[in-house]
A and B are shown apart, each in its own frame.
Chain A
Amino acid sequence: MSKNLKIDEFEYTSLFKCTRCGQCTYGQEEAEFTSLCPVHKKGNFFSYSAGGMMQIARNLYEGKIDYSETLKDIVYLCTTCGVCESNCGVIENHLDIIGKIRRELITLDFPESKALAKVVEGIEKFKNPYGHKQEDRTDWLDGRKEVINNSDASVFYYTGCVSAYDQKQVPQALTRIWDHLDIRFSVCDAEQCCGGPLFYSGYEDKARKLAQHNVRMIEESGIKTVVASCPTCAMVFKKYYPEWLKRELPFEVYHSTEHLAGLVAEGRLKPGALKEKSKAIYHDSCHLGRGLGLFEEPRDLMQAIGGLETEEFNLCRENSQCCGGGGMIPIINSAFSFETAYERLDQIDDETVDTLASACPNCRKTLHLAARKKRRKIRVADVCELIADSLA
């Protein structure tokens, strides 16, 4: 066996546990059997689900099927939203296995494979998925050179690729809050991609190298508190780095909302009031919510902001629906990414809500682009931006 898929025996055994119950596609009781899995929305057959992909993996491993257009179509729909892993009762490593199928697909002659291969290549060469220069990584600081490799800092800020190169408003807002509180932070110009995109493409070995670099870099700074704005980065650090590196991390990692909520609890951070009253709806990022279990922290922060009324999606918390921004889908299947984002936006009434808040730069980017494309007037903002606004 092992003809068409490289997985180990542990992973092969896990494929046998799938009972085809379909729970991988829908959420908890409150979701009332709404299909949450983006893959499942695109096809009626069982193969369009994480469970179906486990059966596909089993058949690939046993050499009973080969890679095909349909197989590629299914696997390249996965946004790594994690509905499967959080709802399946029997398997917990769907995303690892899907990543390994992707790794095989990447070598084949599909347009999506080429796009993904370019991302992988870009990360290997430039240490970020966009192919941007390393020296531009700290551009978002607008010349504040004193915080780069700052030996006097108590917080190490792991900016992450999306924030550093694209969604610069997010790190700028977070550092405005720190400045307001006189919290000294350090940003490292040698920071590299966390490795998440490589891992989700089946390249755990390549991701491990990035992990080694990032951990060494932080370790050398001597700082024990690491904060990341990106839930994927925070999740990869917390969940995968110890596993990949086979050791506990010598520092604590926090997502920005987790860190700021801690400051509020200590009484150090006291969000003020917005200049103009606003009503916001909070979108749970998949990797922040289902991935890290951080549901209350962003909500608590928003509650603390004066003049900000909040609303919930019907599908929220564990049952939150993906924005379409994960799994490199915006790069390899941009139409599907937009389709998924539109579906999320359609759950918002622009007449009653003026702000769509998230705590993930990738969700912010995806939903912002989709909102503009649909000419929706809603503002998309990170929770940090709302707090920073309240302090202004």
Chain B
Amino acid sequence: MNELKRALFSVFPSDRVSDDPAILAGYSADSATLPGSATAPSYVVLPKTTDEIVHLVQIAHRSRIPLVPMSRGSNIAGMSVSVQGGIVVDCRMMNHILEINTESGYALIEPGVTLHQLSSALQKKRFFCHLPTATGGSSALANYMMRPSGNFSARWDPDPLLSLEVVTPGQGVVRTGSACFENVGWRARYQCLPDLTGLFANSFGTLGVVSKGSVKIFDRGETDKVLLVSFDEFSQAAEYMKLIVRRQLAESVTFWSWGWNLFHEMTLSKETRIPEAMLKEDQKSPPPGVPFGIASARLSGYEDVVQVQEERCIRIANELGGEHLDDQKAREIHPGCYNYLNGYFGKGVHIKPGEESQIRAGLHLSGCLVTVQPENVAKLEAYMWDLARREFEPPYFFRALPYSHAREFFFAFVVYVQGSLEERRDYLTHIKGIYHQLYTDLRNKFGAVMFRFRKYPEFLSYTGGYGDLLKDIKKSVDPHNIMNPGMLIF
């Protein structure tokens, strides 16, 4: 037994550490790993406590072996695949909700707690958490660490994180936010010192292993309502979304183009074939009887206030050329979509099997995700349609939502790739190549920025002193570059 193995087995019991190839195979790939590219780690460990993580990080630091943190739930971007070997730190057994503090409005959770688990627990207290579009089985904390886009992005800042506990190779246990002070607790993101929670957000396990964190929770209010409005043009919808958020009428709103809404139909029906209508040549024009897109807004609070909010939203929508879809009409046009949007925005739960079920009907959902200022979002949409017509095969579609009081918009354009891997390998590579260049083009043309890091190593060099500072911090936090080196941020 080598020294590393001996060290790992001294910290973890044999049912929570393994170097068996059959066990490691489970950690060798996710849905983004191409044929023949599965790479297993050398070890996998299942920590249960922060202390175990501390020991593990010390061992890895000493042995200079990569550590790849993994929480729980959907893995669709290769972020937890250990492309350089090393140890996968699978945090699925750290799945406890440690505290729900309705008084201070936060929940303290471990990384293995799923979105479904958290939202179900909060529902019993008539509270609500931010729900990204990831499946209900995904880790809430990991998703929040990756800047989620979802149902609370609009009225509040999209960042649901408060304080974190992170184990780093350089400093050991670091607590951020209000939790950095003993006996102060987990209630706040900011105190009198610079914000370090933000440093770890979007770091994708390259700076340390997160062992717990507090996240924002919200009072559900007396009532809640999902308001659906259809639009024929995205520019009208974008203006509508901006106005209803800025004027405090809705706490969230998302616009889904018709293609996405038809996929919501598939989510409900468990349909495995892409509907014929989705494959039409002209992807911008919807099939007869289907609106170009639907803006789904969540309104909540006192019943009489919600009623007024709803009336005002409908008035604004009408002025901009939108059409209110009442429950009956929405059910008639899009029964599956209606159920999905009501479940997700209204009840605050993910309808199973979840949005990833769309993958069933094809091979891959390949997305270009950016944030952009409000005045450019419609121009960006027009640009993407033109590009898609030239470069992509149907179906493709988009969704957009205002962030942070509509200071910017999140915009996700998705190409749906069908067929077998061998057949589609060149096409997938083509899309990836287009996106790579696209992030540069969109930044130059529209001031749009990549929403989530896509393993483009040159990206940090565009940021000047910001990148230099981050590199210095990385050297201090992780001197031997053992933390998830395959992410290629640094």
Give A residues with C-beta under 8 Å from B. 1, 9-10, 12-13, 16-23, 26, 28-29, 32-33, 43-47, 49, 51-52, 55-56, 58-59, 62, 64-66, 68, 70-71, 74, 87-92
In contact, B137 and A90 (Cβ under 8 angstroms): no
In contact, B33 and A90 (Cβ under 8 angstroms): no
- Cβ-based interface call for B227 (8 A): no
In contact, A44 and B26 (Cβ under 8 angstroms): no
In contact, B40 and A59 (Cβ under 8 angstroms): yes
In contact, B22 and A64 (Cβ under 8 angstroms): no
List 15 A-B residue pairs with CB atoms under 8 Å apart, sorted by A's residue number.
Answer: A9-B422, A13-B363, A17-B360, A19-B31, A19-B76, A21-B354, A45-B26, A65-B22, A70-B22, A71-B21, A88-B353, A89-B267, A89-B352, A89-B360, A90-B356
Q: In B401-439, which residues have CB < 8 Å from any A CB? A: 420-422
Give B residues with C-beta under 8 Å from A. 15-16, 18, 20-23, 25-31, 33, 35-36, 38, 40, 44, 46, 72-76, 90, 92-93, 114, 116-117, 120, 135-138, 267, 272, 349, 352-354, 356-357, 359-360, 363-364, 420-422
In contact, A89 and B354 (Cβ under 8 angstroms): yes
A45's partner among B23, B31, B40 (CB-CB below 8 A) is B23
B53 smallest CB distance to A (angstroms) = 16
Nearest opposing residue in chain B for A91, CB measure: B360
In contact, A17 and B31 (Cβ under 8 angstroms): yes
In contact, A21 and B38 (Cβ under 8 angstroms): no
Answer whether A18 and B30 are a contact pair too, CB < 8 Å, given A58-B38, A68-B20, A71-B22: yes
In contact, A47 and B26 (Cβ under 8 angstroms): yes
In contact, A58 and B138 (Cβ under 8 angstroms): no
Contacts of A20 in B (CB 8 A): 26, 30, 73-75
In contact, A64 and B74 (Cβ under 8 angstroms): no
**Assembled-state Cα–Cα distance A20/B81 (Å):** 11
B38's partner among A9, A19, A22, A62 (CB-CB below 8 A) is A62
**Which 9 residue pairs across A and B have the least CB separation, nearest first?**
A89-B353, A89-B357, A47-B26, A52-B26, A71-B22, A46-B26, A59-B25, A70-B22, A19-B74
Contacts of B116 in A (CB 8 A): 29, 33
In contact, A58 and B20 (Cβ under 8 angstroms): no
In contact, A70 and B20 (Cβ under 8 angstroms): yes
**Assembled-state Cα–Cα distance A208/B438 (Å):** 51
In contact, A68 and B22 (Cβ under 8 angstroms): yes
In contact, B356 and A89 (Cβ under 8 angstroms): yes
Contacts of B27 in A (CB 8 A): 46, 55
Given contacts A43-B15, A55-B38, A89-B353, 19 further A-B contacts (CB under 8 A): A1-B35, A16-B31, A16-B33, A16-B35, A16-B364, A17-B363, A19-B75, A20-B73, A20-B75, A21-B354, A29-B120, A47-B22, A59-B40, A62-B38, A65-B21, A70-B22, A89-B354, A90-B353, A92-B360
In contact, B90 and A45 (Cβ under 8 angstroms): yes
Nearest opposing residue in chain B for A64, CB measure: B38
A102 smallest CB distance to B (angstroms) = 14
**Assembled-state Cα–Cα distance A91/B21 (Å):** 23
A85 smallest CB distance to B (angstroms) = 10
**Assembled-state Cα–Cα distance A22/B93 (Å):** 13
Contacts of A90 in B (CB 8 A): 31, 353, 356-357, 359-360
In contact, A21 and B93 (Cβ under 8 angstroms): no
A193 smallest CB distance to B (angstroms) = 30
In contact, A23 and B352 (Cβ under 8 angstroms): yes
**Assembled-state Cα–Cα distance A129/B303 (Å):** 64
Contacts of A43 in B (CB 8 A): 15
Contacts of A49 in B (CB 8 A): 26
In contact, A33 and B16 (Cβ under 8 angstroms): no
Q: Please classify the interface of chain A as helix (H, G, I), strand (E, B), loop, or mixed, using the class held by over half of its residues.
A: loop
Contacts of B25 in A (CB 8 A): 47, 52, 55-56, 58-59, 64-65
**Assembled-state Cα–Cα distance A66/B363 (Å):** 27
Nearest opposing residue in chain A for B16, CB measure: A44
In contact, B31 and A18 (Cβ under 8 angstroms): yes
Contacts of A45 in B (CB 8 A): 18, 23, 26, 44, 46, 90
**Assembled-state Cα–Cα distance A58/B198 (Å):** 37
From A1, A12, A23, A58, residue with most partner B Cβ within 10 Å: A23
In contact, A89 and B135 (Cβ under 8 angstroms): yes
A23 smallest CB distance to B (angstroms) = 5
From B36, B92, B114, B353, residue with most partner A Cβ within 10 Å: B353
In contact, B354 and A23 (Cβ under 8 angstroms): yes
Contacts of A28 in B (CB 8 A): 352
Contacts of B90 in A (CB 8 A): 45-46
In contact, B21 and A66 (Cβ under 8 angstroms): yes
Contacts of B120 in A (CB 8 A): 29, 32
Contacts of B137 in A (CB 8 A): 21-23, 26
**Assembled-state Cα–Cα distance A87/B21 (Å):** 27
In contact, A64 and B359 (Cβ under 8 angstroms): no
Contacts of B421 in A (CB 8 A): 9, 12-13, 16
Contacts of B76 in A (CB 8 A): 19
**Assembled-state Cα–Cα distance A87/B36 (Å):** 27
A382 smallest CB distance to B (angstroms) = 30
In contact, B352 and A87 (Cβ under 8 angstroms): yes
**Assembled-state Cα–Cα distance A7/B73 (Å):** 27
B29's partner among A10, A33, A55 (CB-CB below 8 A) is A55
**Assembled-state Cα–Cα distance A129/B33 (Å):** 40
In contact, A10 and B420 (Cβ under 8 angstroms): yes
**Assembled-state Cα–Cα distance A1/B36 (Å):** 8
In contact, A55 and B74 (Cβ under 8 angstroms): no
B51 smallest CB distance to A (angstroms) = 18
Nearest opposing residue in chain A for B30, CB measure: A20
B28's partner among A33, A64, A68, A89 (CB-CB below 8 A) is A64
Nearest opposing residue in chain A for B114, CB measure: A33
Nearest opposing residue in chain B for A1, CB measure: B36
Contacts of B359 in A (CB 8 A): 17, 19, 89-90
A23's partner among B40, B135, B364 (CB-CB below 8 A) is B135
B118 smallest CB distance to A (angstroms) = 11
Contacts of B272 in A (CB 8 A): 92
Contacts of A59 in B (CB 8 A): 21, 25, 28, 38, 40
**Assembled-state Cα–Cα distance A70/B23 (Å):** 8
From A20, A22, A64, A90, residue with most partner B Cβ within 10 Å: A20
**Assembled-state Cα–Cα distance A101/B351 (Å):** 32
A281 smallest CB distance to B (angstroms) = 26
**Assembled-state Cα–Cα distance A56/B25 (Å):** 5
B297 smallest CB distance to A (angstroms) = 24
**Assembled-state Cα–Cα distance A334/B26 (Å):** 26
Contacts of A52 in B (CB 8 A): 25-26
Nearest opposing residue in chain B for A60, CB measure: B25
A280 smallest CB distance to B (angstroms) = 30
Contacts of B21 in A (CB 8 A): 59, 65-66, 68, 70-71
Contacts of A87 in B (CB 8 A): 352-353
Nearest opposing residue in chain B for A49, CB measure: B26
Contacts of B36 in A (CB 8 A): 1, 62
B300 smallest CB distance to A (angstroms) = 21
B340 smallest CB distance to A (angstroms) = 13
A89 smallest CB distance to B (angstroms) = 3
**Assembled-state Cα–Cα distance A46/B72 (Å):** 10
A74 smallest CB distance to B (angstroms) = 6
A16 smallest CB distance to B (angstroms) = 6
Contacts of B356 in A (CB 8 A): 19, 21, 89-90
From B31, B40, B116, B364, residue with most partner A Cβ within 10 Å: B31
From B136, B137, B354, residue with most partner A Cβ within 10 Å: B137
